Amino acid sequence: MKQKVALLSSLLVITACKDLNSPYWNDFVSSRDANTGLRDSSSPIADEHILNDYSYAGYFSNDIPLPSATPKASNASYRVINVQDYGALPDDDISDKQAIKNAIEAIKQYRQQYHHSSTDVLYFPAGTYIINNADDDALIDPNNLDDIKNKQPIFVDLDRIILKGDGIGVTTLKMDTHLQPENPAKKWTTPHMLQVGARSSSTTVSANILLQSDVVGGSANTVTVDNVQGFQVGDSIELRSLITRSRAIEKAVSPYLIEYKASSPNVPVWANLTKGLNKREKHTIQSISGNTLTFATPIAHSLSAQDKWTVSKITSYANIGIENLTISGNWQGDFVHHKDALHDSGYSLLSLRRAHNSWIRDVELRNFNQGGVLWNTYNVTARNITLSGTPGHLAFTIMYGNNNLIDGLTDHSKAWHAPGVSKYSISNVYRNSQYGADSSIDLHGEQSMHNLFYNMTGG
């Protein structure tokens, strides 16, 4: 890990850190362990003067480049599935939703039969493909939650899969009509139209972390557990803790205090914060020795021996790509924040979920209420993303994620919430990105921390 230190100079959020003689950079270098490159927990430098090591963000920790251009014809490494061969015909104003689902199902059946190890390419040649319209809506019972959650979206629940078009504005996947919300009272609960990655995750394998002393964030990539049974090298895991100690909560919000509602002095404004600090982060197991698990990336949170920490095996798919296309909603209204489910989330376009070592590149999201989300991902790169069209609710965000890299995002959409992070996310990086001059980076609650925004232009 020692070599990763040299990479951080290109990522520091504070402009002054571009000068390698700055105190921020000097403190960072001085705080490193000479042998591992990790943070030296015995360093006398104060915590608030030491920046996190963000050089692990992105596809394979940014140690290797994204794969080269994906082919449009099958070869030894790629098996190309053309959606037109399954009845998806562009530019005819007829829904292609079922045809696309049929192509995805064909990939699954082929894998079950032949167990091949190559990467599948779901290829959309040039044209506009309708992925939801009134005919599709007629098949959905708006009062049936199963219909809303499981029949409305298009699920690409596969690993080793690339969704590829012929270019932004050349290949377009378009929603003519919006989807229905899971709960109309929770206006943000409309499913994303295109959901790529694992649909669910189980935690049947878990263990308690044994802490004899505190672990400073960034100083270790190993944990000792009470039981390694069921864990294997290459597994995706999640570290979790709910820290309820009042002193820990007070320290987390310091120098501020817990705020209470003026109308109800005993009711906190942020109720979840008073319930505890919800810590979580994901890693890949690199090696197992005895009862010690070693991860491919450093542990970002600080672990206190006073708290209970667990490690659980999770489902996370790898080697997923989404590239060279436009995904479009049909939002044309004057947005009103939290007016109803249509305004908040009716046209929700893309969710890359439960994935790692994957990417989104050269993609446009257009005319949406919610554009895109990395949901429960780690070590994902999103590069050259364009947001455009009628202003809606939320541009692009990371939820429940860590070590993700957003590089070169341009937000022309002027969404209510500009790109940002939410839901306990840590150690993610946005860089070289632009958003509206009348907006601001969105830090949307729920205890996200230690995320880096570098070379950002906007309000």
Q: Are 303 and 152 in contact (CB under 8 A)?
A: no
Instruction: Please name which of 259, 16, 287 lies closest in space to residue 28, comparing C-alpha atoms.
Output: 16
Tokens of 254: 């310091």
Amino acid at residue number 446: E
* Tokens 């939703």 -> residue: 97
Number of Cβ within 10 Å of residue 243's Cβ equals 18
**Residues 251/379/405/82 CA torsion (nearest 10 deg):** -150
- Measured CA to CA, the distance from residue 243 to residue 249 in angstroms comes to 8
Whether 323 shows a pLDDT value over 50: the answer reads yes
Mean pLDDT (the chain, rounded) = 93
For range 207-212, the mean pLDDT: 96
Tokens of 1: 């890990």
For range 316-333, the mean pLDDT: 98
- Measured CA to CA, the distance from residue 361 to residue 409 in angstroms comes to 10
Strands 236-243 and 277-289: antiparallel
Q: Are 59 and 66 in contact (CB under 8 A)?
A: yes
Cβ-proximal residues to 147 (8 Å cutoff; 6+ apart), any chain: 140, 141
Q: Are 299 and 239 in contact (CB under 8 A)?
A: yes
Mean pLDDT lowest among 314-318, 336-340, 438-442, 452-456: 438-442
Instruction: Please name which of 309, 300, 304 lies closest in space to residue 427, comparing C-alpha atoms.
Output: 300
Mean pLDDT lowest among 8-22, 163-177, 250-264, 328-342: 8-22
Tokens of 390: 């009628």
Q: How far is residue 288 from each of residues 187, 236, 240, 277, 364, measured CA to CA in Å?
A: 44, 13, 19, 29, 41
Q: Which helix (H) or strand (E) holds 324?
A: strand 320-328
Q: How far is residue 392 from each of residues 72, 93, 163, 266, measured CA to CA in Å?
A: 34, 24, 25, 35
DSSP tag of 178: P
Q: Count CA atoms closer than 13 A to 316's CA, side-chain side.
A: 28
Whether 75 shows a pLDDT value over 70: the answer reads yes
Per-residue model confidence as pLDDT tens digits over 258-277: 888 889 888 888 888 889 99
Determine the pLDDT at residue 459. 85
**CA-based torsion, 132, 136, 137, 139: positive or negative:** negative
Cβ-proximal residues to 188 (8 Å cutoff; 6+ apart), any chain: 341, 344, 345, 370, 393
Cβ-proximal residues to 107 (8 Å cutoff; 6+ apart), any chain: 81, 120, 122, 158, 161
Determine the pLDDT at residue 273. 86
Per-residue model confidence as pLDDT tens digits over 174-183: 999 999 999 9
Q: Report CA Rg, the chain.
A: 23
Per-residue model confidence as pLDDT tens digits over 119-138: 999 999 999 999 999 999 99
